[in-house]
Amino acid sequence: MAAVAGIMGLGLIWLRQPPLVGFILAGVALGPTGFGVIPESESVNLLAEMGVLVLLFFIGMELSLRAFVLTLRQALLVAGGQITAALIVAILIGLGLGIGLAESVILGFIIAMSSTVVAMKMLDDMGVLRGEEGRIAVGVLIAQDIAVVPMLIFVSSFGSGDIDFAAVTLKVVIAVAFLGGLLWWLGRRGKLRVPFAEQIENKVEILALGSLALCFSAAAISGVAGLSPVYGAFVAGILIGNSTLRSRIIPVIEPIQSVLLVVFFLSIGLLMDLRFIWDNLLLVVAASLAVIAAKSILNIALLRLTGSSEQTALVAGLSMAQIGEFSFVLAAAGLSAAALSGDAYRLAIAVTAISLLISPLWANLMRRVERVATAGLTSYRSALMEAYATEIGEMQRGRQAVDRAVFHARLRYRAARLALYHRRAEKAKQAEADDANISAEQPEKEKTGEAAQ
């Protein structure tokens, strides 16, 4: 499994795509509806859940309070607009199709999320992760990641039959208030001092075990308290990220987080039901394209309304057009709470995975369209040449390389034929000389024989 995932990841890197797409494809190929090499396994699902916890723990550690505060207003407005619009659309579709309120709300939550991993990778490949586009997009993505916590609290409460909205709202208010108070308190003071920090700061194994123990302990406490386990993992990450050991722990945890994240995306591929996708191919493809297009338009509009420039809104908005990895967590939580039907769950998984797969291609296409539109071109020929200038240049360089290779091959072929001709001519001359010598020696032998007689 690890070997196939590594090969697929390297292949996608070679194609200049996020490697996680390769991990998903590896899971699809090896999964029960693919070649059936790996059946559905509880251990794989457990590792995937651990990967989600460590991912939120790592996001909490890397959260820069100062940078987040700078984009706080816009990030909250955009993330809130995304969630609100997704909920409205999902509820309206649910009313039209006769779907229950709980299932519609879960589908709205799923659609609203964007992928932090994919978006940051795309922004990094564009070279704008540290620029204005990256700063705003990361702020919105962090706001979404924080919103996952109350969403999971809601989704987990939907499985209890009659939903006690007052109790659910109270849980969400407590969780958000505690998180907001923690961020405010950490922003007003310096780094937290960890006991025995000087003794353990160079002990890699202690740092790894201690930080993971804190992550999973906080997740367990949060789960027992009726909140989502990822909430506790995120809070633990924020505490570690604002401690004196942050710079020591991040390099230690990052490889573990990367491995668990690979397992998480592999598990996504394992969850994809190829038979369901094939039987409902038109629905899945149409839903995937509709979600990506709608999220692109909505993201760009919200970013423009909150003060971003056209270029910033375009790049940041397109980077968040896909459905995110936490949507799988929300879908799984809805299924386990019996609030999401099996078909709706399979559709959500398929649409989310496909949106992750085609998101880099979509962003590339939209950037080409924007480049053509701003160039003021009128003919299709000039528009295509402008949009695909890079590929055309690569093809021209490739054709020149092929022409040079063919030219040199022809020279070598002609040289080889000339050498073969000379070799054959020399052999023919040598054969004629040998025949002449034999003809000259034959009379001498006959004369010698007659004299002997």
Q: What is the pLDDT of residues 113-148, one digit of tens each?
A: 888 777 877 777 677 777 888 888 888 887 887 787
Q: How confident is the model at residue 384 (pLDDT cuts 50, 70, 90)?
A: very low
Give percent of the chain with pLDDT exceeding 90: 4
Task: Select the more confidently predicted residue: 72 or 81.
Answer: 81
Its pTM stands at: 0.68
> Which residues share a beta bridge with 243?
192
Within 10 Å of residue 318's Cβ, how many Cβ atoms?
Answer: 29
Which has the closest alpha carbon to 101: 322, 280, 339? 339
Amino acid letter at 349?
I
Name which CATH class applies to 41-265+277-375. mainly alpha
Structure confidence by residue, pLDDT tens digits, 282-301: 988 888 888 888 998 999 99
CB 151 within 8 A of CB 231: no
Among 66-70, 111-115, 272-276, 414-418, the range with the most confident prediction by mean pLDDT is: 111-115
**Burial class of residue 333, CB neighbours in 10 A (0-12, 13-18, 19+):** buried
- Which of these ranges, 143-157, 286-300, 430-444, has the smallest mean pLDDT? 430-444
pLDDT (average), residues 211-235: 83
Q: Which helix (H) or strand (E) segment is 218 a member of?
A: helix 204-224
Residue 380 has pLDDT above 50, yes or no: no
pLDDT at 88: 92
For 100-119, the pLDDT digits (tens) are: 888 888 889 999 988 877 78
Reply yes or no on whether the pLDDT at 408 is more than 50: yes
Contact residues for 75 (Cβ-Cβ < 8 A; gap 6+): 68, 136, 139, 140, 142, 143
Q: Spell out the residues 6+ positions from residue 86 whose beta carbon is closer than 8 angstroms to its own.
A: 108, 109, 111, 112
Query: What is the residue whose two structure tokens read 């899971």?
Result: 27
**What average pLDDT does this structure show over 424-446?**
69
- pLDDT interval class at 383 (50, 70, 90): very low
- Average pLDDT over the chain, rounded to an integer: 77
* Residues comprising the chain, all counted: 453
The mean per-residue pLDDT over the stretch 410-426 comes to: 79
| Mean pLDDT computed over 224-242 | 81
Give the Cα separation of 117 and 120 in Å (integer): 5
Average pLDDT over residues 291-316: 88
pLDDT at 221 over 80: yes
Sorted by where each begins, the domain ranges of the chain are 41-265+277-375, 388-453
User: Alpha-carbon distance 384 to 392, whole Å?
Assistant: 10
pLDDT higher at 40 or 301: 301
What is the share, in percent, of the chain residues with pLDDT greater than 70? 82
Give the residue with greater pLDDT, 265 vs 387: 265
